[in-house]
Copies of this chain bind each other. A is one copy, B any other.
Amino acid sequence: VALSTIDRSAVERLHLAYVDAIDDDRLEEWPGLFTAECSYRIASRENVRRGLPLAVMRCDSRDMLHDRVHAIRTTAFYVNRTVRHLGGMPDVRTAEGGDGLAVRASFAVYESLPRAATTLLCVGVYDDVVVEDPDDGELRFRQRHCTYDGDLVVDSIVYPI
């Protein structure tokens, strides 16, 4: 299937599956939305602008994403937090080189703690490369770079953005 036939709604479904896995606390499904070799990164807008290699989170393969989920599941956090993503409409473009689709979308992530009001955790933008996985033809993230605005207490990043 040619990449040009990937429709926008397939990309939207991938975005929705991503949000659903995290917000519904089915984190184990999250790595499966990425290709085996992939690039997942969370970095601040300021660092991205300066071209600094500093990232709050960086995973270069699906296995590393699985490790991350394992770490989250086995860490004793003081509080049970839940997160909620609100994503803007995806801006779907052909990726440079014609291999896959470049997709941008704004996001806001909210956090809720027990017996507390919900608060804004961060806002930012996703820079994705979405491809049809040669393994099975499924649409997956080969890249999801999360760039957040403002300053963020690094400890507060527990779940994926």
List chain A positions with a Cβ less than 8 A from chain B: 8-9, 12-13, 15-16, 19-20, 23, 45-46, 82, 84-89, 91, 104, 106-108, 110, 112-120, 122-125, 148-152
Residues of chain B within 8 A of A151, CB atoms compared? 112, 114-117
> For chain A, what secondary structure do more than half of its interface residues adopt (helix, strand, loop), or is it mixed?
mixed
Q: How far is the CA of A19 from the CA of B107 in the complex (A)?
A: 12
Contacting A108 at CB < 8 Å: which of B15, B19, B104, B108?
B108
Residues of chain B within 8 A of A88, CB atoms compared? 16, 19, 85-87
Q: By the criterion CB–CB under 8 Å, are A150 and B20 in contact?
A: no
Residues of chain B within 8 A of A86, CB atoms compared? 86, 88, 106-108, 123
